[in-house]
Structure 1
């Protein structure tokens, strides 16, 4: 048995996700979405647009902070005739 701690993963939509990274990304996106929504002018469509813009900004920031952890190995099959 090894003493190495493996990251805790959970399966979401047939993909394994690290719980810590998932919670961090949800918090970041929630912060930017709600922050943008609350600073928007009180005219009817503006809070929607600001909230959507904040969600996109949060997604972009999250994609830079949390790097993918997949290792893709490309194997070529032998020529089949």
Structure 2
């Protein structure tokens, strides 16, 4: 294993059998937490409005994260011999 490969391993952690860049994971967690909590807090206090607005905030956070963080996965096709 080269030094470059070792540095990649340090920057990545395994989540659900996939490697994730730590910085990107933290950014996405912060964005989704802020949009979900923000939606919950600005909603009127009449049930189930806070739950619905909080869930909408989570979806908005997911969409923002999918736009901001680009996938880094590369696929290689190898022919069977």
TM-score (norm 2): 0.85
Aligned residues: 78
1:43 aligns with 2:46: yes
Instruction: Compute the RMSD of aligned alpha carbons.
Output: 2.0
Partner of 1:21: 24
Q: Which blocks of at least 5 consecutive residues in structure 1 are unaligned?
A: none
The CA deviation at 1:6 is 3.5
Structure with bigger helix share is: 2
TM-score between both structures, scaled by the size of structure 1:
0.85
Match of 2:65 among 37, 62, 65: 62
Deviation of residue 2 (structure 1)?
5.7
Q: Which has the larger radius of gyration?
A: 1
